[in-house]
Amino acid sequence: MPIYQRAKEASVFDSSDVALLGRVFEKLKAEGQSPEGREALASRVIANYQAGIRDEEELAAVSKLPLGR
């Protein structure tokens, strides 16, 4: 799953961080979404988390938008 691979690659997250990232990713992924789309989503979720957004609902809301918006 892209979110877990990306989080592992960053190697700065503990298990509770990864659990939160995984929950947000699961909420936002779409049925039939391309692998590239899932990779982009995983990147957005992690980037927003690293930018300081720790609230699960807020993280999900901002991660629906393209980065930089």
Q: Is residue 68 part of a domain?
A: no
Taking the C-alpha atoms of residue 12 and residue 30, their distance in angstroms, rounded to an integer, is 27
In a domain, 51, yes or no: yes
Number of domains in the chain: 1
- In the chain, the amino acid numbered 2 is P
* Residue 39: per-residue pLDDT: 92
> Does 69 map to a domain?
no
In this structure, which amino acid lies at residue 16? S
26: containing domain: 2-63
Instruction: Convert the pLDDT of each residue in 34-53 to its tens digit.
Output: 999 999 999 999 999 999 99
Residue 66, pLDDT score? 79
- 35 in a structural domain: yes
Residue 30 lies in a domain: yes
Spans of the chain, pLDDT less than 50? none
CA distance readout (Å), 11 to 30, 33, 39, 40, 49: 26, 26, 17, 18, 14
